[in-house]
Each structure stands twice: as structure tokens, then as C-alpha cells.
Amino acid sequence: MRGETPKETVGTVNTAEFFVTFFSTGVFLFFVGVDSWKIIVALIVGGVIAAPFGALMAKKMNPRILMLIVGIVIIITSSYTIYKSIS
């Protein structure tokens, strides 16, 4: 851990995700069209539900345990992605 608090880390990641999602949506709409509005609405609703949950977890949990859980989740999802791309 580099010394950042989980609150700062979660806030920074949420801010970065906003910009990534904003521009990804623009590119997605450009290439796929407005016909896929249901997918976009689902992504927005999912983000609205997940953001407060992440903030609550960052506030309530022990910072060391939270960072450990985040690290494990990243390792598992990355390993799964690598496995799927190889096979």
C-alpha cells in the first residue's frame, strides 16, 4: 500500500471511471448507433447502484482488509481474462 486512504482511492477511481464511461459511450453510440440504448441505460443504472456501495464499503471497512480484497478481486478477474484469451 502506498499510503493513500481507501476513500481517496475509491473517489479517484470513480472520477476516472466517469470520464472513461463518458467517452466510451460516445464511441459506442458512434459505431453501434442509438438502437442500443437499453445497454447504455443498464450501464448507467449499474453505476448509480454500485457507486454508493463502493463509498460505503470504503468508509466502513478496515483499509488494509479493503485493499487486500480489491487486490484479490483484480487478480481473479485478470486471471480469468487471461485464461479466456488463451483458450
Supply the pLDDT for residue 2.
61
What whole-number distance in Å separates Cα of residue 34 and Cα of residue 81?
29
**Alpha helix positions (H), 1-87:** 6-32, 37-60, 63-86
Q: Which residue range(s) make up the domain with 35?
A: 6-61
Q: Is residue 76 part of a domain?
A: no
Q: Is residue 66 part of a domain?
A: no
Residue 1: pLDDT over 70: no
Q: Is residue 67 part of a domain?
A: no
Count of domains forming the chain: 1
The pLDDT tens digits for 26-85 are 787 788 776 777 877 887 788 788 878 877 877 888 888 888 888 899 999 999 999 999
pTM of the entire predicted model: 0.54
Q: Is residue 73 part of a domain?
A: no
Supply the pLDDT for residue 10.
72
Q: Is residue 19 part of a domain?
A: yes
What whole-number distance in Å separates Cα of residue 69 and Cα of residue 53?
15
